[in-house]
Amino acid sequence: MATHFTKTRILSRVKANKGLWFLRPSTLLSNPSSPTKPQNGNLGRLMPFVLGRRYKSVEAGDPCNVEDGDQVLDFPGGRVALSPEMRFLPESAEERISCYRVLDDSGQLIEGSTFKDISKELAIKMYSQMVTLQVMDTIFYEAQRQGRISFYLTSIGEEAINIASAAALTGDDVVFPQYREPGILLWRGFTLQEFANQCFGNKADYGKGRQMPIHYGSNKLNYFTVSSPIATQIPHAVGAAYSLKMEKRNACAITFFGDGGTSEGDFHAAMNFAAVMDVPIIFICRNNGWAISTPTSEQFKSDGVVVRGQAYGIRSIRIDGNDALAVYSAVHAARDMAVSECRPILIEALTFRAGHHSTSDDSTKYRPADEIELWRTSRDPTARFRKWIERNDWWCDVDESALRTNLRKELLHAIQVAEKVEKPLLKELFTDVYDELPSNLSEQERELRRLIEKHPSDFPTDVPCRWLVMSASLEHLLMSSFYLFDSQMI
């Protein structure tokens, strides 16, 4: 069977694969579809057969040796077979790399699928969290449209990547998100009230109101704060993984990014560093076909992202990102390899952004409306996983109704509470970077306070900015005598 990914001006077919295969980094480019394949059986038997290798340098000696009748060149990095034939590597393979899948679109197990077994309790928790993420996105999106928050960005259509990957990790694994992974935080215990506090930027927000909504972070939950610039988190994650390796920690780093992020230099530098230094990290690319309005066809001509890992010497796999069981199984296997073998792993998860890029975007301007509707309905990851747990008699309509009703009440209450909480003090704009505030920032703070005093109607009225008021003549006297008067909050 085939999975169809329809894009504007491009129709690509990716062969579905029911086995969990990781591409070997040492596979020859002339045969790029040659995978590391587990033998028959469950995922528990996978690890001994998922073997890869990296080329090793050889000792100095005769630059040309003969092995089995073929000449071999001793070269730094490994021996290279010599050939009298001039042959250019093809720009791409004849067949696209297959896509690992466990559940079909109707939630049926594909016969012969290799996957990690999950219990009833884990399955119900995964589904409940996927629904929570879906409901949270809907309500916060509506809150932005009502003018109650300034910005929002949803994960609609990508719930399986969020929740299933989080379920396969441990709390010690450090997460470097892009901006579409709040489900990781949700899984680790970040409350709906904490999400609301951040979006409303009140004084209970851990970022003290300095960041835009959805830029979550939690030191306690090993979730590094979201940063808007594309792909900057990827080299940071590799550095953290290198630290985990040096400390011999039983953990890995994991970083998320979109297909657009792979066009940034940070992605390539990070991949190369991770491969050369053999660090325990999982790269997860959410290939949803679009970098805002730019389709993948205008970003790269290669077979997606998965082949890039192979080029850098990184074991890689392509999976159906809308299949929660496939995501969970692949990330679980990837974590085992990353930690036990101290190696990087690349996962390309094929999915679709069923919502707009953000509240600042209208995706119907560049994507067909019927295509969006198809993915929202027929290929929705939450609905697919629900069908599977219902077939196992683990879920029913009564459970569904109760869950969604309770979630809506809890979210609306969280929003009402967050709206009433006071905003952070104005002085917090300048704290937490330097131990002692430098003179230029002190001057900026004084200037800001002068502007607010002079033009109060131009600034928000709900930001506490009370300070000791001094006359202009007194301020001039103090400044002229080199006595810097730092206005203090009362």
In tens, the pLDDT along 278-321 reads 999 999 999 999 999 999 999 999 999 999 999 999 999 999 99
As beta bridge partners, residue 255 has 176, 283
Identify the CA nearest to 79 among candidates 90, 88, 67.
67
pLDDT, position 461: 83
Query: Is 357 an annotated catalytic residue?
Result: yes
- Residue 371 annotated among the catalytic residues of the structure: no
DSSP 98: P
Both tokens of residue 249?
């920690």
Q: pLDDT-derived band of residue 483, with 50, 70 and 90 as boundaries?
A: very low
Residue 65 banded pLDDT, cuts 50, 70, 90 = low
Please answer whether residues 115 and 326 qualify as being in contact, where contact means their C-beta atoms are separated by less than 8 angstroms.
yes
Q: Which of 95, 142, 422, 453 is catalytic?
A: 142
106 is catalytic: no
Catalytic site residue from 113, 159, 357, 445: 357
Q: What is the mean pLDDT of the chain?
A: 86
Q: What is the mean pLDDT of residues 349-367?
A: 95
CA pseudo-torsion sign 210, 213, 215, 218: positive
DSSP code of residue 332: H
Biggest alpha carbon distance in the chain? Answer: 94
Catalytic, out of 113, 165, 358, 487:
358
Helix (H) or strand (E) holding 255: strand 253-258
Does residue 476 have a pLDDT over 60? no
Which pLDDT tens digit goes with each residue over 17-43? 777 778 776 543 334 444 544 444 444
Q: What is the 3-state secondary structure (H, E, C) of 121-171?
A: HHHHHHHHHHHHHHHHHHHHHHHHHCCCCCCCCCCCCCHHHHHHHHHHCCC
Please tell me the predicted confidence (pLDDT) of residue 391.
Answer: 97
C-beta pairs of 373-380 under 8 Å, 24+ apart in sequence: 374/6, 375/157, 376/156, 376/157, 378/105, 379/105, 379/322, 379/352, 380/157, 380/322, 380/354
> Do 9 and 297 form a contact (C-beta atoms < 8 A)?
yes
Is 98 a residue of the active site? Answer: no
Q: What is the DSSP letter of 31?
A: S
Among residues 30, 150, 228, 378, the one annotated as catalytic is 228
Q: Could you tell me whether strands 64-67 and 70-75 are parallel, antiparallel, or unpaired per DSSP bridges?
A: antiparallel
**What Rg do the C-alpha atoms of the chain give, in angstroms?**
26
Query: Is-contact 415 148, C-beta < 8 A?
Result: yes
Q: Which two tokens stand for residue 451?
A: 């502007």
Q: Residue type at 381?
A: P
* pLDDT at position 239 over 70: yes
Q: Which tokens sit at 155?
A: 């994960």
Residues 240-289 have pLDDT tens digits of 999 999 999 999 999 999 999 999 999 999 999 999 999 999 999 999 99
Reported confidence tier of residue 345, pLDDT bands at 50, 70, 90: very high
Q: In sequence order, what are the beta bridge partners of 348?
A: 285, 318
